[in-house]
């Protein structure tokens, strides 16, 4: 099995160690992981801003870069959603590229989803024993991809306590372009998430964008909240 790792822009720039942890985790499970050097952005920022021609060009490039691999794995539910749910629609009426987009979509998985659904891994180890965790179900991850039990199950199997959080399924307010065009609303949504956050050791999510938004706003408010990407916690579960 040859797996191509799609690092994504945010992971590369803001969660580089989490991206490395994801690769370490996959390799510890005897998976051959390849990092295609030609990869760039998935095209989601351009897509959300309405620049579909630019998004289409990036999608075509992504199709070429990741052609021929058994699977493509990402440490980001948001970018996984772009490849799986949105990109094929960019090529409606263009059968060859539409077919290629569907092929890539079928081979593309978010990290925790890949572990559970493809590798049938449900227990990585017990490296998270006693850790109290608040898990944020990012909109793209839970609503678009339907990924809910996979990350939570892996964390719990590793000994973590997922602390109940009334706002765990609510949007954090980031939404890419939304947070730029609707700043007051975006910050109010982040405030609600933070105000309802239970007392935990760490806040995590499968989406770095959500963590960046909530973590940055928490820091601005002077709140002592530890934020860690899901990939790093899963590697800790495996590595002890």
* Same domain assignment for residues 95 and 175: no
As a whole-number percent, the residues of the chain with pLDDT over 70 amount to 100
Contact 127, 239 (CB under 8 A): yes
- The answer to the question of residue 232 being in a domain is yes
pLDDT of the residue at 180: 82
- Cα 180 versus chain centre, distance: 20
Residue 112 is predicted with a pLDDT of: 98
Averaged pLDDT for residues 157-166 = 98
Structure pTM? 0.95
| Average pLDDT, integer, range 119-133 | 97
pLDDT at residue 40 is higher than 90: yes
125 falls within a domain: no
Same domain as 107, residue 138: no
Mean pLDDT in residue range 140-144? 85
Phi-psi region of 119 (alpha: psi -120 to 50; beta: other; left: phi over 0): alpha
Distance between CA atoms of residues 23 and 72, nearest Å: 12
pLDDT digits (tens, 9 = 90+) for 179-230: 888 889 999 999 999 999 999 999 999 999 999 999 999 999 999 999 999 9
Percentage of the residues of the chain whose pLDDT score is greater than 90: 89
List, edge to edge, every strand of the sheet that includes 108-110: 32-34, 2-5, 71-74, 108-110
Q: pLDDT band for 178, please (50, 70, 90 cuts).
A: confident
For residues 105 and 152, membership in a common domain is answered with no
In a domain, 127, yes or no: no
Whole-number pLDDT of residue 107: 98
Domain holding 220, by residue range, is 132-239
Same domain, 91 and 193: no
Residues 139, 215, single domain; the answer is yes
Q: Is 49 domain-assigned? A: yes
Q: Are residues 88 and 137 in the same domain?
A: no
Q: Is 227 helix (H, G, I), strand (E, B) or coil?
A: strand
Report the alpha-carbon distance of residue 91 to residue 36 in Å, rounded.
Answer: 24
- Position 142 scores a pLDDT of 86
Handedness of CA 225, 218, 170, 206 (dihedral sign): negative
Confidence of residue 240 (pLDDT cuts 50, 70, 90): confident
Under the banding of pLDDT at 50, 70 and 90, the label for residue 129 is very high
Give residue-wise pLDDT tens across range 76-117.
999 999 999 999 999 998 999 999 999 999 999 999 999 999
* Calpha distance 168→162 (Å, rounded): 11
pLDDT above 90 (res 58): yes
**For residue 144, pLDDT beyond 90:** no
Average pLDDT, the chain: 95
Instruction: Answer yes or no: is 176 within a domain.
Output: yes
CB atoms within 10 A of CB 130: 8
């Amino acid at each position: 099995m040859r797996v191509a790792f799609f690092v994504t822009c945010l992971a590369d720039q803001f969660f580089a160690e989490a991206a490395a942890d994801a690769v370490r985790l996959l390799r510890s499970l005897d998976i051959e992981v390849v990092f295609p050097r030609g990869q760039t952005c998935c095209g989601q920022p351009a897509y959300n801003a309405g620049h579909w021609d630019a998004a289409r060009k990036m999608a075509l490039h992504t199709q070429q870069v990741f052609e021929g691999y058994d699977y493509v794995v990402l440490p980001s539910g948001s970018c996984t959603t772009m490849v799986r749910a949105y990109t094929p629609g960019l090529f409606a009426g263009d059968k060859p590229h539409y077919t290629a987009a569907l092929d890539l979509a079928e081979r593309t998985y978010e990290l925790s989803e890949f572990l559970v659904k493809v590798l049938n891994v449900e227990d990585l180890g017990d490296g998270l024993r006693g850790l109290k965790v608040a898990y944020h179900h990012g909109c793209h991850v839970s609503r678009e991809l339907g990924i809910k039990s996979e990350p939570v199950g892996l964390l719990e199997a590793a000994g973590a306590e997922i602390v109940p959080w009334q706002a765990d399924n609510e949007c954090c307010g980031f939404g890419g372009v939304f947070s730029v065009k609707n700043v007051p609303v975006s910050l109010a949504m982040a405030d609600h998430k933070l105000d309802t956050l239970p007392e935990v050791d760490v806040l995590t999510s499968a989406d770095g964008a959500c963590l960046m938004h909530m973590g940055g706003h928490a820091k601005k408010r002077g709140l002592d909240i530890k934020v860690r990407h899901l990939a790093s916690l899963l590697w800790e579960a495996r590595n002890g």
